[in-house]
Amino acid sequence: MTCNTHKYHFALLAIAVFLSACNMPAPSQNQTPKASPNAIFDDFSYHGKDTIFNQPLAKTKIQNPILNGFYPDPSIVRVGHDYYMVNSTFSLFPGLPIFHSKDLAHWQQLGNAINRPEQLNFDGLHIGYNGIYAPAIEYRQGTFYIITTCVGCGGNFIITATDPAGPWSDPIWLPELAGIDPSLFFDDDGKVYIVHHKDPANKKYPAHTSIAIMEVDANTFQPISKDVELVNGDDSAPWHTEYLEGPHIYKVKNKYYLSASGGGTEYFHSYLLYRADSILGPYEANQENPVLTQIGLPKDREFPITAAGHGDLFDDPNGDWWVVFLANRVYDLDKTDIGHFHTGREPFLLPVTWNDGWPTILPDHAPIPYQIDRPALPQIPSNNEFKRGNYTQIYDFESNQVPLEWLFIRTPRTQWWKIENGRLFMSARKDRLGENNQPSFIGRRLAHMKATYSVKLQFPELQPGLEAGMMSMQNDDNYIAFGLSQNSQGDKVLQVRRKANTPELVQGVTIKEQRITLQRAQQIELRVDIDKANMDFYYRIEEQPFQPLIMSVNSSVLSSFEAGGFTGAIVGMYSQDNNR
């Protein structure tokens, strides 16, 4: 069994688990945390340093990926001259980030569609295997729609909004819809359909899946028809049709086009196209399938990108076509087919041309380019534009709101944080990463292979058993903690802990511990330098020079290849109480 097969069956088993949504109101950000001792953070700094992004970017070009860090399963809808994109977030909160652009080059995050605890329940879910999969965004007559799957937390559902910035509705559940990765199609005759992945009636092998469609009520989205199978992923095609997923339907010049991904989410991940004269088929396959893949390229290519697929086609007002899709920027490709990557699956953009009635993307399966020509659209930078390429970002906590792009692990049920006077206060609670609960952690995506991130920390109420600092993590079983704590003798210590697929060791293994002299009111700054699978740890007290704590720590636990799951690494601040 391949790693990919294991992941896929884990996900399908989880679909059957239905958890009822919590009805607790959203915690107020002005509410004071409970009496647990507070770690106090200031000036979280992030500096991206990837070599590929040092190449000059002309004004006539767009940088790929269009967002750095794990923003997988991209879906874009155009409304007039505006483009809206949504991405998967799995069991992280808030979920389903909504991005807006007018020129496909500059993007701004408008909000998060899942931002109220009562919308979904992520309690106890695996961060990378469970939660929200593969959203698809559509628009009709003044209303935006997102259809997606919550694996392990209810199944398939739709949410709606009249403003893409929100608020978005509570889920409209679709219990009659089997499988995962649904998308909506509004036909021009007023009929509405949902196309989705499912298991075929006669499953021939474990990875054998199919794509099906059903007509649904235009208002309730309940089934009007039974499923009609459109594509069966048996082994008869000369390309990879195992694990068919992520389908979309488009109507172009009175023909229906079906896109889907095959080959699983790793090396053989590919983008496939089919077409028909009727929405219900029969569908013929594009004989040039896969129309997008990175299979078979030289392993020694520079700045490799792998596992391209899960695309969504759309046009612009000029009639030009584009595809947004996910792929992985990787390193150590000589050691594994898919490579190592801690930035997760990122969204890329490519132009599409039409030949003999078929969309064409990359000629001869060429390597995905890091720069593409801008579309012939007015260049309109967005307010609060999302940063891309290499950049420096400093979070000074002058706003009393957590930034839109920051993430919690699962859904917070109590208000254990507070932003006040330019500082972030986080309660040291007994919930800890490693125990599948909701720890005191707030972080952002690790968006580069090479980066430096740091934070200033005060912990005046530090006591034996308490701990706070910076966490770099993939999930409960794969993380590296860099924290300040106090031992049983009353000594203040800095320690680095690493957990690598050892669920039985909640705290992982301490690989470095060093006593330090730190006065109660003094501030310590923690810094991490990461370069692919290597991490260096530094600290300084007040404004003294940085001192190394431990160098050349193996950080491959942050690679999605090692950690498993479908997310990327997150880096941020944590606070916890280890007393039991």
**CA distances, 405 to each of 89, 164, 206, 445 (Å):** 11, 16, 37, 8
Q: Among all chains, which residue has been given the structure tokens 């329940």?
A: 121
Contact 70, 346 (CB under 8 A): yes
523 pLDDT above the threshold of 60: yes
DSSP state of 330: -
Q: What CATH number does the domain located at 392-577 have?
A: 2.60.120.200
Q: Which two structure tokens, joined as six digits, stand for 101?
A: 């652009």
What is the CATH class of 3-27+71-373? mainly beta
The residues near 542 (Cβ < 8 Å, ≥ 6 apart) are 522, 523
Q: Tell me what pLDDT residue 33 has.
A: 46
Peptide bond into 545 cis (omega under 30): no
Q: Tell me what pLDDT residue 133 has.
A: 95
Percent of residues, the chain, with pLDDT higher than 70: 94
In the chain, residues under CATH classification 2.115.10.20 are 3-27+71-373
312 pLDDT above the threshold of 60: yes
The 10s digit of each residue's pLDDT in 148-189 is 999 999 999 999 999 999 999 999 999 999 999 999 999 999
**Phi/psi at 556 (nearest 5 deg)?**
-65, -15
Separation of alpha carbons 88 and 263, rounded Å: 19
Q: Tell me what pLDDT residue 35 has.
A: 63
Average pLDDT in the 139-150 region? 98
Choice between 1 and 192, residue whose per-residue pLDDT is larger: 192
**Phi/psi at 335 (nearest 5 deg)?**
-100, -15
CA angle 397, 31, 96 (to 5 degrees): 65
Q: Tell me what pLDDT residue 13 has.
A: 40
Per-residue burial over 359-390, b if 16 or more Cβ lie within 10 Å, else e, is bbbbeebeebebebeebebeeeebeeebbbbb
Mean pLDDT of the chain: 92
399: exposed, middle or buried (C-beta count within 10 Å: 0-12, 13-18, 19+)?
exposed
Average pLDDT in the 322-345 region? 94
Amino acid identity of residue 472, one-letter, is S
**CA distances, 304 to each of 300, 327, 337, 445 (Å):** 8, 10, 11, 21
Q: Tell me what pLDDT residue 6 has.
A: 38
1 pLDDT above the threshold of 90: no
The 10s digit of each residue's pLDDT in 351-393 is 999 999 999 999 877 999 999 999 999 988 777 888 999 999 9
Of 297-306, 346-355, 356-365, the one with minimum mean pLDDT is 356-365
Rounded to 10 degrees, the C-alpha dihedral 466/469/471/477 comes to -20
Specify the pTM: 0.93
The 10s digit of each residue's pLDDT in 530-575 is 999 999 999 999 989 999 999 999 999 999 999 999 999 999 999 9
DSSP-assigned letters across all residues of 89-135: -BTEESEEEEEEESSSS--EEEEEEE-STTT---TT--TTTSEEEEE
Separation of alpha carbons 576 and 433, rounded Å: 9
Q: Tell me what pLDDT residue 384 has.
A: 80
287 pLDDT above the threshold of 90: yes
19 pLDDT above the threshold of 80: no
Contact 156, 147 (CB under 8 A): yes
In the chain, residues under CATH classification 2.60.120.200 are 392-577
The 10s digit of each residue's pLDDT in 458-494 is 999 999 999 999 999 999 999 999 999 998 888 999 9
**Phi/psi at 122 (nearest 5 deg)?**
-100, 10
